[in-house]
Amino acid sequence: MSTTDFVLIKNNIGIEVQGITHQIKNRADKFEIIFKYATFLKRKLKLGDFIPCHDNGDIFNEPTDMYNSPQYYESEMQAYEIAKNKIIFKGFDAERDNVKIWLESNLYTIVEDLIKHDLELTKTAIEQIYG
């Protein structure tokens, strides 16, 4: 059984913690972080974890205002920024990296599969783990 499966199973048992002392609360807080990390590692990968994507999973290229009205451009830029903020791994580029092919190969299906590559997490990913 993997460590993450073990942590997730133990959390489902329901460890009830009462904040009697600071030490107990500190331990509960640490367990919560471990549980969040285990949950994060079991998260299914999607293209939007690496590069900005529309809600339907299509790649979201950075908008240009060359042919659009200022209102349309502003709306598209806001949507693009939201998509960028959903990325959990730093350093990927839609044109340079073949992330889509990488994911379709099914070699990597969950975040845990990528640990050996020592990828840098974004602020979004860190917030998902530490709250």
Ordered DSSP codes for 104-125: HTTS--BGGGGGGG-PPBPHHH
- Which pLDDT score, from 0 to 100, does residue 6 have? 65
If asked whether residues 59 and 5 sit together in one domain, one would say no
Boundaries of domain holding 99: 45-121
- Which pLDDT score, from 0 to 100, does residue 22 have? 61
- Which pLDDT score, from 0 to 100, does residue 125 have? 95
If asked whether residues 64 and 3 sit together in one domain, one would say no
If asked whether residues 74 and 106 sit together in one domain, one would say yes
Paired residues of 59 in beta bridges? 53
- Which pLDDT score, from 0 to 100, does residue 17 have? 47
Backbone angles phi, psi at 87, to 5 degrees: -65, 135
Identify which of 20, 35, 7, 3 has the alpha carbon closest to the alpha carbon of residue 130. Answer: 35
pLDDT digits (tens, 9 = 90+) for 36-86: 999 999 999 999 999 999 999 999 998 887 677 888 888 999 999 999 999
Domain count, the chain: 2
Kindly report the pTM of this predicted structure: 0.78
If asked whether residues 6 and 37 sit together in one domain, one would say yes
If asked whether residues 37 and 63 sit together in one domain, one would say no
If asked whether residues 61 and 96 sit together in one domain, one would say yes
pLDDT band at 105 (very low <50, low <70, confident <90, very high): confident
- Determine which helix (DSSP H) or strand (DSSP E) holds 76, and give its type and residue range: helix 70-84
If asked whether residues 17 and 64 sit together in one domain, one would say no
If asked whether residues 66 and 109 sit together in one domain, one would say yes
pLDDT digits (tens, 9 = 90+) for 3-23: 677 667 666 655 454 445 666
